[in-house]
Amino acid sequence: MESTTGLDLARSARAITANPPFTVGTLRKAIPAHCFDRSLAWSLFYLLADISCIVSLGCGSQLIDHPSVPRVVAWTLLWPLYWFLQGAVATGVWVIAHECGHQAFSKWQSVNDGVGLVLHSALLVPYFSWKHSHRRHHSNTGNVQKDEVFVPKHKGKPQEDGPSEWQDIPLVKLSNLVNMLLFGWPLYLLANVSGREYEGHASHFDPYSPIFSKRERSEIVASDAVLGLVLYGLYTLGSSIGWAWFCKVYLAPYLMVNGWLVMITLLQHTHPALPHYHEATWDWLRGALATCDRSYGFLDHFHHHIADTHVLHHLFSTIPHYHAQEATAAIKPILGDYYNYDSRNVFVAMWQDYPQCVYVAPDSEGEEALWYRK
């Protein structure tokens, strides 16, 4: 990622934790007014473009098993290429569904919720459950008591009794990362793994989970019901067409989407140079700034720029993705070094940083900021 403004966390600089000299209102005024427009027509255009790509790739995948295609070519090149591309495009659909939850798809909540419910359910995500917990993530970003996702373990002071060196062995690191990318998302939904600590069992599928208020319970039931219909439809499809086909055409790209989702979320919030705060010292603006932008190269277009405009997204989550780059450029001069980005390759960054981010603690007792340690 190239940037003439901001703090490149790839150079081991720590993010600034002092109260910023600007306000949210100052940032809002710097953004062109049209960036806040939520056009149903444009949102549908991007959604239909994604769906067209998904259908085209799905139809094209049937040629991979043609008798004229050598099996070694099919399994070492064509199927992996299909899984990669289909997963990338479907991640874009996931991002659009995520925008529905933020009311960024259109001006109408009923349209947003209807589209979001269909799209997220098709990707086996309980829409309303995710919408409510994700809203609380945005309301409490960087708060080690109240944030909802990738909440680090926190200690009162630095300690020397961290994990043993065996966790730095490349094979162990690789195994940990693969397990997180494959199973991190369903485990979070099912059992709130890596999420906020609650009293009792917390699950995105349980309407009585402590994650949700009484007012939200009926929507959790609705999410579960629609998700049940989707699962039944997928079961019927697999039974009628064949489970081998189902695994190749749907399941493998679905796992790719899960992996991209976990990787994107992890890398935006888990970084040795990004601070966390206790509830007593946390405030919303500093928490919202405690994230960073990253580029996934050409995949940014497939992912609708969710990763390279993530700082803006935490400041103004109702701005749709097709205005996010322009809005980011508008606020960067004001943010200055409060704008965090990381110019490293994302796979290199994940390999280097994930094992270093075990728990957070202050540099010294009484300090407000908590920093990741090993």
Please write the tens of the pLDDT for every residue from 80-124.
999 999 999 999 999 999 999 999 999 999 999 999 999 999 999
Question: Distance between CA 267 and CA 172 in Å, rounded?
Answer: 19
Instruction: Calculate the average pLDDT of the chain.
Output: 94
Asked if pLDDT for residue 205 goes beyond 80, the answer is: yes
The tens digit of pLDDT for each residue in 211-226 reads 999 999 999 999 999 9
Please tell me whether residue 360 adopts helix, strand or coil conformation: strand
User: 3-state class of 109 per DSSP?
Assistant: helix
Alpha-carbon distance values, 363 to 159, 270, 286, 333, 368 (Å): 10, 17, 18, 30, 9
Annotate 211-240 with b (16+ C-beta within 10 A) or e (fewer).
Answer: bbeeebeebbebbbebbeebeeebeeebee
Q: How far apart are CA 220 and CA 207, in angstroms?
A: 5
Helix (H) or strand (E) holding 361: strand 359-361
Distance of alpha carbon 257 from alpha carbon 260, whole angstroms: 5
pLDDT at 364: 86
CB atoms within 10 A of CB 349: 21
Instruction: Give me the residue label for tokens 């099912």.
Output: 190
- Give the pLDDT score at 163: 53
Tell me how far apart the alpha carbons of residues 248 and 91 are, in angstroms, rounded to a whole number.
17
Query: pLDDT tens-digit profile of 56-73?
Result: 999 999 999 999 999 999
> Mean pLDDT throughout 347-373?
90
Q: Tokens at residue 287, please?
A: 């928490």
Confidence class of residue 311 from pLDDT cuts 50, 70 and 90?
Answer: very high
pTM of the entire structure? 0.93
Residue 187 has a pLDDT of 95
pLDDT for 164 beyond 70: no
Contact 177, 169 (CB under 8 A): no
